[in-house]
Amino acid sequence: MQAMALSLPIIGVGVAAGKMASDFEDAMAKIVGLVGISREQTKAWEADLIAMAPQVGKPPQELAEALYFVTSSGIDAAHALEVVRIAARASTSGLGEAAVIADAITSAMNAYGASNLSAAKAADIMTAAVKYGKVEADALAPVLGMILPLASALGIGFEQVAGALA
């Protein structure tokens, strides 16, 4: 009976770890299958995401899901992990899920041009909008994705859009 009491929690941990590993692999497979990034590149990113996870306080699976949004937005491979890192740090500070933040950040970068709006600046603006506007990032992000291309075309800055929505 005592051996069973010790074995069940260990088995539970093993099952949970296996599920997390499987979910991580599934998220990385989406990047290959749906975005078209090479398997070699995603293999290199896997090690980077696993190393990044304890640094940003997020599990690798959540980072992989954020990476999917970053890569599907067209952000180049050289900058993709930095955008994920910024989104994960914003998530850890309470902004919301890393994937949602990554989606909003890349929407802003694409609307205004990565040379005009960095991932760090976009995250700072979103953080201020959430903080001062008392709005959840999960509610703000989808709206930003829809209106930023038009706002950018009309010459309305990201700060103004985020401020107005907040």
This prediction has a pTM of 0.82
- Residue 122 structure tokens: 């976009």
Kindly provide the residue ranges of all beta strands, DSSP E only, lying in 6-164, ordered along the sequence. Answer: none
What is the residue-level pLDDT of the chain in tens, covering all 166 positions? 555 555 545 544 444 444 455 678 998 999 988 888 999 999 999 999 999 999 999 999 999 999 999 999 999 989 999 999 999 999 998 888 999 999 999 999 999 998 899 999 999 999 999 888 878 888 888 888 899 999 999 999 999 999 998 8
Q: Which of 78, 81, 28, 23 is nearest to 51 (CA)?
A: 81
Residue 159: alpha-carbon gap to chain centroid: 21
